Amino acid sequence: MKILAIETSCDETAVAILEATPNVKVGAGGSKRDPKFRVLSHIISSQVKIHTKFGGVVPNLARREHEKNLALILVQALKESTLYKRAPQGATSAQRQEEIAAILEREQDLFAHLKKIIVPLAIPDIDAIAVTYGPGLAPALWVGVNFAKALSCLWDKPLVPVNHMAGHFYSALIKMKKEKDAWKAAYKKISFPALALLVSGAHTELVFIKKHGDFQIIGQTLDDAAGEAFDKVARMLGFGYPGGPAISKLADSFRHPDPSADGEGSQTQILRSAQNDKIYFPRPMIASKNYDFSFSGLKTAVLYFIRGIEKTHLIKKLRPAIAREFQNAVVDVLVTKTIRAAKEFSVKTVTLGGGVAANEMLRRELARAVKKELPDSNIRFPDSSLTGDNGLMIAMAAYFCGKKTSPDKVQADANVTL
Ligand code: KG4
Ligand code: ZN
């Protein structure tokens, strides 16, 4: 089965084509437990350069870029996967074209592209079109959803709406392998029940998963998401969007002071004490009995600390120490609560997903804690190329728990939960 997946929930325009072959020998009824995957195409076009100067993702700019790029990326994906063929002229009826025009009524540029470069193609050999319908930025989601609906209508293929956070969960179960020039994707088997820590720019969730598709959120952030806190602290320290990579790089650059460095002035004192681990930021809700999170107080603590040293002009020198302690605080809270939940729910697998899963310290500490405190459980991380938003994770989620739906029933839903 070949799944074409489209992801436009935020600032990446992503298209993937995944071929899945279920292993019929395992389990009853052609089990999905041990499928073989082949990545026919996996394209991510990032808009990050466009949004950086605004300090965050601007929804209408994201929408415009998706609209500009989607049809072109789809053509590229079809070519890559050798599913690209031109059709004899006039293969699409006028009525079909009118239906598509109605679906893309608000995406006139996208409609024009589609008409010019997609309509002349032969129907590709795919079995379903998966699309992220939420959560995310509404204007960005709508472009992807309407594009997928138009394709579904044009090619007569079923549509599978996918929850973006389910995609982030499945990103931990794909192992990318390049063989010769082709990507293979090994499926990392998972034992249920599982617990997923999903940490992205807009979400921080602990999700209990009994089996494929059976998600239960047991805790989430009450205010800022972990990624959002990284982005905001990065901005306070003078870095652009996205802030996560900048903070983790800074934190890694931290060095304890050279004990032979001399100087007794107040500046040296402040610098020394900061570099001697004397900066301390709170670990909000680390001891609370529930599995919720809160990162807004931590962000404010960083802000007050920065204001407190403003007059010393030491901010540049202290940036690595601040970043390190901030990252320590976030990782401490995330790891502590994940381990506690994993124990209480007796899970067999802990998984990590979402943009913040790129954070090396979080990966390291979570792996260490699972090994030490839950020696009978496994841990699954996404490959570093799959931590951000991508189409493959949407295709995987569609394969394992998607439901084919008629296009007129699919709507973007910016606030949908798992
Ligand atoms: O999942 P994602 O790509 O988009 C959303 O669905 O939100 O997550 C983006 C978030 C941003 O907040 C970004 O700063 C954060 O992931 N991020 C990181 C790192 N790389 C990206 N946070 C911490 N450390 C990183 N290395
Ligand atoms: Zn995401």
Torsion over CA: 92, 95, 98, 99 (sign):
negative
Ligand 2 midpoint to CA 201 (Å):
7
Q: For residue 360, which phi and psi values (nearest 5 degrees)?
A: -65, -40
Confidence (pTM): 0.93
Closest-CA residue, ligand 1 atom 16, reads: 355
Q: Cβ(184)–Cβ(385) under 8 Å? A: no
Say yes or no: CB of residue 356 within 6 Å of ligand 1.
yes
Q: For residues 237 and 297, what is the distance between their CA atoms, to the nearest angstrom?
A: 17
Tell which residue, 110, 141, 130, has the closest CA to residue 9.
141
Q: For residues 179 and 177, what is the distance between their CA atoms, to the nearest angstrom?
A: 6
Ligand 2 midpoint to CA 136 (Å):
8
How far the first Cα of the chain sits from its last, in Å, is: 25
Ligand 2 midpoint to CA 52 (Å):
17
Q: For residues 5 and 3, what is the distance between their CA atoms, to the nearest angstrom?
A: 6
Atom of ligand 1 at shortest range from CA of 241: 14
Q: Which two tokens stand for residue 332?
A: 């401490």
Atom of ligand 1 at shortest range from CA of 242: 14
**Local structure of 287: helix, strand or coil:** coil
Q: Residue 143 is which amino acid? A: V
Ligand 1 midpoint to CA 200 (Å):
5
Say yes or no: CB of residue 147 within 6 Å of ligand 1.
no
Tell which residue, 39, 394, 43, 76, has the closest CA to residue 181.
39
Say yes or no: CB of residue 204 within 6 Å of ligand 1.
no
Ligand 1 midpoint to CA 286 (Å):
22
Tell which residue, 308, 300, 249, has the closest CA to residue 278.
308
Closest-CA residue, ligand 1 atom 14, reads: 244
Kindly report the length of the chain: 418
pLDDT at residue 33 in the model: 62
Q: Which two tokens stand for residue 247?
A: 């903070």
Q: What is the pLDDT along the chain (418 residues), one digit of tens a residue?
A: 999 999 999 999 999 999 998 876 555 444 556 788 999 999 999 998 899 888 888 999 999 999 999 999 999 999 999 898 888 776 778 888 899 999 999 999 999 999 999 999 999 999 999 999 999 999 999 999 999 999 999 999 999 999 999 999 999 999 988 777 777 788 898 999 999 999 999 999 999 999 999 999 999 999 999 999 999 999 999 998 899 999 999 999 987 766 555 555 555 666 666 666 678 999 999 999 999 999 999 999 999 999 988 877 778 888 999 999 999 999 999 999 999 999 999 999 999 999 999 999 999 999 999 999 999 999 999 999 999 999 999 999 999 999 999 889 999 999 999 9
pLDDT at residue 259 in the model: 58
Q: For residues 329 and 307, what is the distance between their CA atoms, to the nearest angstrom?
A: 19
Say yes or no: CB of residue 359 within 6 Å of ligand 1.
yes
Say yes or no: CB of residue 244 within 6 Å of ligand 1.
yes
